[in-house]
Amino acid sequence: MSGIKDKVIAITGASRGIGEATAVLLAERGAKVVLMAHSSDQLAAVAGRIADAGGAVAHATGDVRRREDLARLVALACERFGKLDVLVSNAGIGPISPLDDLRVDDWDAMIDVNIKGVLHGIAAALPVFRTQGTGHFVNVASVSGLQMAPSQSVYGGTKLAVRAISEGLRLEAGDKLRVTVVSPGFIQTSFADAAPNPEVRAQLAASREKFAIPPDAIARAIAFAIEQPANVDVNEIVVRPTAQR
């Protein structure tokens, strides 16, 4: 099955940024979207916006660090719409800082959200995809998983892990399932605001103001991968601002 219309697509981290832009774009193109995020108010606002525009949407508050929440997201898709065609694992955090700051709790949090969150999505959706005989994983990584930068050792390591896990999943998936990694560059989101180190935060904010691109650039890349015919697997997409090096 090609195209986007009537596909059931679950998205984590859907309350803002890339997740929100992806949810809105896919719903506009006829997908039935099932959304999860940590912030209930923001998530409800996104779902309400889609519903008001005539889109098919369901949503549930959840935390990708909890396996049961991802299982609940997949179950919601199947109960509400009868199937799950695509899981977009977008939720991620980036409280980046120099290793010398020894913010070990932040390291743990990035591992739990950025790596384990993707694994929990795989654990929830893979059995459903196997039963259906079709399915598509879209995992959002980062150019930090391709090219390391100062203060991003742990964050970049988690995103490199997402790419490695996704490639392993692709090799094991067989000829019925698809796996796509999307690696964004600098995007106009609140990513910079999460940096606890003031100097790093200021540098990121300056770069964001200078050349960051909007989240819908990534949403369009995700849509491109999803809309391909079933025998076409777009394995990896890298989207950077033209000014980013």
Q: Are the C-beta atoms of 204 and 195 separated by less than 8 Å?
A: yes
Is a pLDDT exceeding 80 seen at residue 238? Answer: yes
pLDDT value at residue 204: 87
How large is the average pLDDT for residues 190-196?
84
3-state secondary structure of 138: strand
**Rounded to whole angstroms, how far apart are CA atoms 58 and 183?**
26
**Rounded to whole angstroms, how far apart are CA atoms 210 and 188?**
10
User: Hey, what amino acid is at 25?
Assistant: L
Domain positions in the chain: 8-239
Q: Which of 137, 155, 186, 191 is catalytic?
A: 155
3-state secondary structure of 59: strand
What whole-number percentage of the chain has pLDDT above 70? 99
3-state secondary structure of 139: strand
**Rounded to whole angstroms, how far apart are CA atoms 245 and 234?**
24
Q: Which residues share a beta bridge with 178?
A: 136
Is a pLDDT exceeding 90 seen at residue 195? Answer: no
Residues in the chain: 245
* Stretch among 193-197, 217-221, 222-226 having the lowest mean pLDDT: 193-197
**Rounded to whole angstroms, how far apart are CA atoms 197 and 40?**
28
- What is the per-residue pLDDT across 26-49, written as a single tens digit (0 to 9) for each? 999 999 999 999 999 999 999 999
Between residues 81 and 39, the one the model is more confident about: 81
Between residues 172 and 189, the one the model is more confident about: 172
Q: Which of the four pLDDT bands, split at 50, 70 and 90, describes residue 190?
A: confident
pLDDT value at residue 193: 84
Is a pLDDT exceeding 90 seen at residue 14? Answer: yes
3-state secondary structure 148-217: CCCCCHHHHHHHHHHHHHHHHHHHHHCCCEEEEEEEECCECCCHHHHCCCHHHHHHHHHHHHHHCECCHH
How large is the average pLDDT for residues 170-194?
93
pLDDT value at residue 1: 44
Dihedral sign, CA of 10, 14, 19, 20?
positive
**Rounded to whole angstroms, how far apart are CA atoms 50 and 218?**
18
pLDDT value at residue 2: 62
Q: Are the C-beta atoms of 13 and 92 separated by less than 8 Å?
A: yes
Say whether 243 is catalytic.
no
What whole-number percentage of the chain has pLDDT above 90? 90
- What is the per-residue pLDDT across 63-75, written as a single tens digit (0 to 9) for each? 999 999 999 999 9
Is a pLDDT exceeding 90 seen at residue 122? Answer: yes
pLDDT value at residue 192: 77
**Rounded to whole angstroms, how far apart are CA atoms 28 and 225?**
16
pLDDT value at residue 194: 85
The fold of the 8-239 domain, in CATH, is Rossmann fold (3.40.50)
Q: Are the C-beta atoms of 14 and 55 separated by less than 8 Å?
A: no
